[in-house]
Structure 1
C-alpha cells in the first residue's frame, strides 16, 4: 500500500556503518561493503501471506535458505536484527553460524536469494527485536544510532522495508503519559521519531510493518498508561501505531502467546479459536476507547493495514489455531458469514491476510500453513 509523505531528507548526511553478515560484528572503522541496489518488487498483494524467516538462528526448526522459501510467501521478514545492548540503539544483523545451521548459505548466495525473491515480487524486510532483542531507545543518541545502523543493514542487503517486533520491556508508558496523540515517554517518542526518519529516508515504496503482542495493543482497551496500577506496558504500542498510521503498511498483532483479552463485547476471548481472532481484529478495525474510556480513543485502521498473526505450527507458539478455525475467522471478518459468538462491527473484505511465526516452523511441518491458507487468503 503506497503512502504519501513529505520527504524531509533528514538523514542525507549520515555516514553509514554496515552491519555484519557473520557472527562477528564488523569493526566500525572497517570499510563498508558496496550496497546493492534495493529490489524493485511489485507492491504487496491485496491479500498476502507474511512469514518470518530465522536468518540468524535455527530455533529447533532447522535453517531454511532464503532461496528455498516456498513461493506462497508474499513478505519475508528476516529475523532478527538485535541491539548491541538494550539501550544502545545500535543494531547488528548476524547470519546464522555454521555450527548451528550447517546448511547456511554464503553471503553471496544469501544476497542472490534476496534478489531472486524480489524479482518474483516478494518483499524482503528486516525485522528488529524479537523475544530476545530488547530495544529501549531511552535517549536521542540511541535513537540516532538506531536509524544509522538500521539504514546500514537495509542498504547492505538491499531490503524493501522494516518490521518492528518489539517485545518484553522495550516499550512502556511513564506515569501520567495517557494522551495517545501526545506521548511523552522517551522510549515511545524516540521510536516514533526513528521510524519517521527511516520512512522519510526511503520514500513511499518502503514497507513498514509491526508485530506487537496483544498486551501492547488490545489490552489498552482495559488498561492504558503508567501510574494507574496496571503494568505500564499495557497498550504501550498504541501511540506508535497511531503516530505512524499514515506510513504503516501492515499491523499483524501476535494473536498467540497471549492471555485472555477483553473484547468490545466486554467478554474475555481466549487464543486458538476463530472468535479470538475475530474479536482482536475487530478491535483494530472498529477502534476502541482506552482504559475503559478514561484516556481517549484509538481510531480504527484501514482493513488493508491489518493481518492476523498466527503460529505456523503447534511448536511455534501457544495459541495454534487449526486451519478450519482460521478460515472461519477470515470468512466472518471479510464477508460476515460463518461468525460464531462474537459478531464484528462490520465486514472487511480488504483485510490484508495472515502473518505466521514462522516460515521455518511451517517448512519443518510440511508447509501446512502456506499450502492450506494461500488460496483462502487470496480470495
Structure 2
C-alpha cells in the first residue's frame, strides 16, 4: 500500500506544523499484463459535452471497477511564465486534498488497478526543447513518487505533437524514467493516445514517439473519434471506410487489422499492444461513438479468430460514462456495462430483458386533490406487449396531508422478468408555494447550483453529491443564503 510515512506524519504532529507535505511511498507499482479497459479521469468539474450534457467530477474510488487503467488528466504547462516543464496540480474544485487523492490511488492499486498520469490534452502548451530531457524526467519521477502514479500516458494533440522538440525530448525523458524504476524492479507503464490519422506513414506525426519508445511502451490506445472523414481504404468491394461510416463493424475490423499488420498505409502496432479508443457517449466526442456494441464485439471476434485479438478498449471518459445528457438523464455507466464483461471475460453482457415503464415521473399535487397512482402509467415487455394490468404499487399518498410520499411501481412479464421504479409525490398547500429545488441526497449538484433544505436556501460552492446542507460547516460545500419562502 502507498501510505503517508509514519515518521513524517508523527513529526508534523509533534511540531504542530500547519501543513504536511504528503508523499506516497511507492513500494508498489501496479502494471497490467492482461486485457485493459482504459478510462480518462477529469481533474476538473462540470465538463460541457458536445451535445449539451454534463460530466461531473468524481472520486477515483467511484470509478467502476472494470476500468483497470485510469488516466488522470492532465499533466501540462499551467503557466507559461513559470517555465516550460509540464507538471500536475490537483484542481481544488474537486474537493479532494492531496492526501485523500493519494489514498484513493492507493485504494485502486490495492484492487490491482493502475493509475497513470496523462500528459497533454487539447490545451497542453507543451513545448519542450533539447536539453530538457533530465528536467522533464525528474518532474515525472517527482510526481510519481509524490502521488503514487503507475505510469504516464502521452496524450498530446494538435500542435503540441510536433511543437518544439517534443518528438525527441519526451521519448528520451521517458526512457530515463523507465530505467529509473526498472532499476527498482518496477514497471513504470508508458502508453499513448494518438489521434489515429497520425499513425499513417504519410502523416505519421506520432511515429517518433512510438519508434523512440519501442520496447518500452506498454500499449497504445489510438483515438478513433473526432476525426470525421479520416479512415482507411480497403481493396476490393469494401472500398473507403471512414471513421463515421455506417459500416461500423467493418471500420473497427479493418482499421485494427491495418495497424496490427502494418498495411494499407498505417504503421505497425502489434495486436497485444493495440487498445481501441472510442467515446463513452455522444457527449464525450463530436463523432466516433459506437451506437451498437455488437459492432465492436463482432469486429473483435473476427480479429480473435485470425489469431490477433486486441488488448482492450479505451474511452473518453469515466466522467462522461457517469455524466448526464442535455435533458439531465444519466448515462448510467453504459460504456463500461457494454464492454467491461466482454473485454475482461470475452463475453458480451447479458441482454436486459426487464419490462419498461412509461408515464412514471415525480409529481406535485394540491392539497385535497384526487390522485390516482396508475393514471397515465403503463408497462410493456421487451417485445412491446402491454403488461400494464400487472403493475403493482407499493406505498400510499394522503392528499389531505401536506408532505412528500414515496411510491414504488413493480411489474413482471410472463417470462418472469421484473422491473421496479420509484416515484415521489409531493402534496402541497395552495396558500404556500412549493420549493422547486429541494435537496436530494441521490442527486449531484454543480458549482453555484441552489437548493432548499430544512426551510433554508443553499448554494453549492463546488460539485457535490450526498453532502447534506447544514451539516458541512462554514468551510464546507454548502453556503447558506437565508430562509426559504416556500415549503
Change (3 A) 1:83 1:32: farther
CA RMSD of aligned residues (A): 2.4
* Cross-structure match for 2:435: none
Distance in 2 between the 1:196 and 1:368 partners? 37
Kept in 2, the 8 Å contact 1:250–1:307? The answer is: yes
Q: Which runs of 5+ in 1 are unaligned?
A: 1-30, 174-184, 224-233, 291-296, 336-345
Give the Å deviation of 1:158: 1.0
Deviations 1:206-237 (A, max 9, x none): 111100101221xx24x2xxxxxxxxxx3110
Kept in 2, the 8 Å contact 1:84–1:90? The answer is: no
Q: Equivalent of 2:24, from 36, 42, 45?
A: 36
| Matched ranges for 1:335-374 at <5 A | 335=305, 346-349=306-309, 351-364=310-323, 365-374=331-340
Matched position secondary structure for 1:124: strand
| Matched ranges for 1:166-181 at <5 A | 166-172=156-162
TM-score, with length taken from structure 1 = 0.73
Q: Which runs of 5+ in 2 are unaligned?
A: 1-18, 49-54, 324-330, 347-487
Q: Equivalent of 2:170, from 166, 178, 191?
A: 191
Q: Equivalent of 1:90, from 85, 93, 102?
A: 85
Q: Give 1 or 2: higher strand fraction.
A: 2
Change (3 A) 1:168 1:74: same
* Cross-structure match for 1:153: 143
| Matched ranges for 1:179-218 at <5 A | 186-203=165-182, 205-217=187-199
Kept in 1, the 8 Å contact 2:233–2:240? The answer is: no
Deviations 1:146-176 (A, max 9, x none): 2222222111101111101000111239xxx
Change (3 A) 1:186 1:41: closer
| Matched ranges for 1:63-102 at <5 A | 63-84=57-78, 88-98=83-93, 101=94
Kept in 2, the 8 Å contact 1:136–1:171? The answer is: no
Give the Å deviation of 1:279: 2.3
Give the Å deviation of 1:56: 3.6
* Cross-structure match for 1:275: 250
Matched position secondary structure for 1:315: coil
Distance in 2 between the 1:167 and 1:211 partners? 9
TM-score, with length taken from structure 2 = 0.58
Give the Å deviation of 1:108: 2.1
Kept in 1, the 8 Å contact 2:30–2:113? The answer is: yes
Give the Å deviation of 1:326: 2.0
Kept in 2, the 8 Å contact 1:39–1:118? The answer is: no
Distance in 2 between the 1:53 and 1:166 partners? 16
Distance in 2 between the 1:275 and 1:86 partners? 44
Matched residue count: 302
Moved more, 55-64 or 160-169: 55-64
Q: Which protein shows a greater Rg? A: 2
Give the Å deviation of 1:264: 5.6
Q: Give 1 or 2: higher helix fraction.
A: 1
Give the Å deviation of 1:199: 1.1
Give the Å deviation of 1:262: 4.5
Moved more, 121-130 or 318-327: 318-327
Q: Equivalent of 2:104, from 113, 125, 136?
A: 113
Change (3 A) 1:170 1:116: same
Higher relative contact order (CA 8 A, sep 6+): 1
Q: Does residue 139 of structure 1 match 2:130? A: yes
Matched position secondary structure for 2:337: helix
